Amino acid sequence: MSGRRIGIMGGTFDPVHNGHLVSASEVQAIFDLDEVIFVPTGQPWQKSNRQVSAAEDRYLMTVVATASNPRFSVSRVDIDRGGTTYTVDTLHDLKAAHPDAQLYFITGADALEQILSWRQAEELFALAHFVGVTRPGYQLDDTHLPHGSVALVDVPAMAISSTDCRARVAAGRPVWYLVPDGVVQYISKRDLYRDGAP
């Protein structure tokens, strides 16, 4: 189909939380996107300081979290490619799958801050529009990026991080309403994050 506008929400999603979902929903509405594809990472090289949960668990939690939204879907491209995940590969794969679509890659303020350290960073801006969203605790700023390459969007403040969700589960504290109900149940069913080390 030509002329489609597709958002891409990349993340480790360990676990996916309501900050991710609200960001994707806001950008979908503001840019009138036909779809937002959530793309769980394979091996995220900038998180090598900790053990990331199994890709299948992160993928399934993302499927559970997005299932009720008809405009949300989940892609396995980064997981199935295997190895270290680089966004340049994600964008090439999704462009090949949707050759006529315009791609909008969504990042939180923290990820946007780091983007010039990403692999082949200079190529990224030719492959997709970038949308930076606000995130409590981080300054949303694009002055380090090529002029006009990024749109900045205010999303309702969600002071939620996967790190905090993991720490809460490890400490026996609730994550209800920070992550979707199905994700709370998936974490419990699979006994994720119990052993700490967030």
Ligand X SMILES: Nc1ncnc2c1ncn2[C@@H]1O[C@H](COP(=O)(O)OP(=O)(O)OP(=O)(O)O)[C@@H](O)[C@H]1O
Contact 42, 79 (CB under 8 A): yes
The residues of the shown chain that bind ligand X, judged by CB under 6 A, are 11-14, 19-20, 23, 107-108, 110-111, 133, 135, 158, 160-163
Which regions of the chain does DSSP assign to beta strands (E)?
5-11, 35-40, 72-74, 102-108, 129-133, 150-153
Minimum separation from the CB atom of position 8 to ligand NCN (A): 8
Tokens of 16: 């996916």
The amino acid sitting at 12 is: T
DSSP letter for 45, please.
Answer: G
Restricted to residues 106-145, the positions that interact with ligand NCN (CB under 6 A) are 111, 118-119
Given the structure tokens 């923290």, which residue do they identify?
110
Residue among 99 and 187 whose Cβ is closer to ligand X? 187
59 scored as a contact of ligand NCN (CB under 6 A): no
Residue among 99 and 136 whose Cβ is closer to ligand X? 136
160 binds, among ligand X, ligand NCN, none (CB under 5 to 8 A by kind): ligand X
Q: Which residues neighbour 99 within 8 Å (Cβ) at sequence distance 6 or greater?
A: none
7 binds, among ligand X, ligand NCN, none (CB under 5 to 8 A by kind): none
Residue among 37 and 187 whose Cβ is closer to ligand NCN? 37
For ligand NCN, how many residues bind (rule: CB under 6 A)? 15
62 scored as a contact of ligand NCN (CB under 6 A): no
20 binds, among ligand X, ligand NCN, none (CB under 5 to 8 A by kind): ligand X
Q: How far apart, in whole angstroms, are the C-alpha atoms of residue 72 and residue 93? A: 18
The amino acid sitting at 7 is: G
Residue among 19 and 180 whose Cβ is closer to ligand X? 19
Given the structure tokens 């939380």, which residue do they identify?
17
